[in-house]
Amino acid sequence: MTDLPAACARHFLPPYLLERIASGGSSRLSECARHTLLVDGRFRARAGAVALPQGSARRGEPARYVYSAEQQQTLPGTLVRREGEGDSGDPAVDEAYRGLGATYRLFWEAYERHSIDDDGMALLATVHYGQDYENAFWDGRQMVFGDGDGELFNRFTIALDIVAHELSHGVIQHEAALAYVGQSGALNESLCDVFGSLVKQRELGQSVDEADWLIGEGLFTDRIVGSALRSMAKPGSAYDDPLLGRDPQPGHMDAFVVTEADNGGVHINSGIPNRAFHLVAMALGGHAWERAGRIWYDTLIDTRLRQDSDFVAFASLTVDNAERRFGAASTEAETVREGWRGVGVLLP
């Protein structure tokens, strides 16, 4: 077993959604949301207690381990499926296993990255965490997935991009380590949505025109009026529900949300860089992971990207990386500039 420094947990569901359910849901739903908030708060205070099993020494081959917490709050739990083993028959276990593999394939085959740390780090996931736990998170060493409450939220492994989103937090941790607050935190969340969407698109063989650009599709049950948790194409349009409220994400700096909640709006203002990526990917066409995704990945691993980088700093680096890879006068470089201008981050 190897060990890693602890990192603050990164949760998929933003706290403001759980707070709305806690204050306005039925007695059962309110209790589920309050319990989830309590658990999430504990992991924000102390994360990353699990050591890792052996990773992969062979580049191009992942080392996946999927455990079940069996509705307890013990990590990692009982090992159910490991690299090379067949389906377990447990949907959450097998979805997590496939999601880890799909995410590894994107980073390896598109960007030649060998796992989270580029050194074969074991990909560890725990499913069936807690009872009616309504979230998923990266805790600095592994991914953890709840089963949802069955009324508002399905199991959190149901959407491939949720698995990929959480694993991408690990990649960010090992590269820029973007501070999880304010604009740098929103960039952290946005990058996870970007790579989560790219994993989904690549697995489905979709072009930019075929992709739905939704994050967390399938997570909501039929009781929620909404298609997903976020929309990269149209931030603010993913849901509009009597209990959850309306998707609060802005898609332009004109509507940037100034707040102390949600670590300074990390899940809210991420809609702005999300839409910038969507604009770039749509303008370039084809497969988003090939050019737009390559530029965003180059920027993530750029040593000039600081932990406290804001939107302008990140945008400027994406332009520079597009010029470095494709040429200063290239279509790609100008398209990246236009994408950030389109959301008001870079000036015309």
User: If you average pLDDT over residues 292-318, what whole number do you get?
Assistant: 98
Give catalytic status of residue 267 as yes or no.
yes
| Residue 261 tokens, joined | 């909640």
pLDDT at 43: 67
Greater confidence (300 vs 43) lies with 300
- Same-domain check for residues 201 and 83: no
Are 83 and 33 contacting, i.e. CB atoms less than 8 angstroms apart? no
Is-above-0.75 flag for pTM? yes
- Same-domain check for residues 55 and 105: yes
pLDDT at 50: 64
In angstroms, the CA 93 to CA 105 distance is 19
In a domain, 134, yes or no: yes
- Helix, strand or coil, per DSSP, at residue 257: coil
In a domain, 348, yes or no: no
- Same-domain check for residues 196 and 145: no
In angstroms, the CA 93 to CA 87 distance is 8
Q: Is the pLDDT of residue 1 over 60?
A: no
In angstroms, the CA 226 to CA 246 distance is 9
- Same-domain check for residues 159 and 199: no
The per-residue pLDDT for range 204-246, each reduced to its tens digit, is: 999 999 999 999 999 999 999 999 999 999 999 999 999 999 9
Give catalytic status of residue 166 as yes or no.
yes
Are 177 and 307 contacting, i.e. CB atoms less than 8 angstroms apart? yes
Domain that holds residue 212: 182-342
In a domain, 1, yes or no: no
In a domain, 312, yes or no: yes
User: If you average pLDDT over residues 63-75, what whole number do you get?
Assistant: 96
What percent of the chain is modeled with pLDDT above 90? 93
- Same-domain check for residues 59 and 37: yes
Q: Is the pLDDT of residue 54 over 50?
A: yes
Q: Which residue among 114, 143, 174 closes a domain?
A: 174
Q: Is the pLDDT of residue 127 over 90?
A: yes
Gap between the terminal Cα atoms of the chain: 52
User: If you average pLDDT over residues 196-210, what whole number do you get?
Assistant: 98
- Same-domain check for residues 306 and 190: yes
Q: Residue 141: which CATH number?
A: 3.10.170.10
Q: Is the pLDDT of residue 45 over 50?
A: no
Which of 95, 166, 189, 217 does the annotation list as catalytic? 166
Q: Residue 298: which CATH number?
A: 1.10.390.10
pLDDT band at 101 (very low <50, low <70, confident <90, very high): very high
User: If you average pLDDT over residues 189-203, what whole number do you get?
Assistant: 98
Q: Is the pLDDT of residue 46 over 60?
A: no
Helix crossing, 271-284 with 311-326: angle to 10°? 20
Angle at 50 between CA 44 and CA 56, to 5 degrees: 125
pLDDT band at 44 (very low <50, low <70, confident <90, very high): low
Which of 114, 267, 278, 287 does the annotation list as catalytic? 267
Q: Is the pLDDT of residue 20 over 70?
A: yes
User: If you average pLDDT over residues 253-273, what whole number do you get?
Assistant: 97
**In whole numbers, what is the pLDDT of the chain averaged over residues?**
95
As for how many domains the chain has, the answer is: 2
In a domain, 132, yes or no: yes
pLDDT at 49: 57
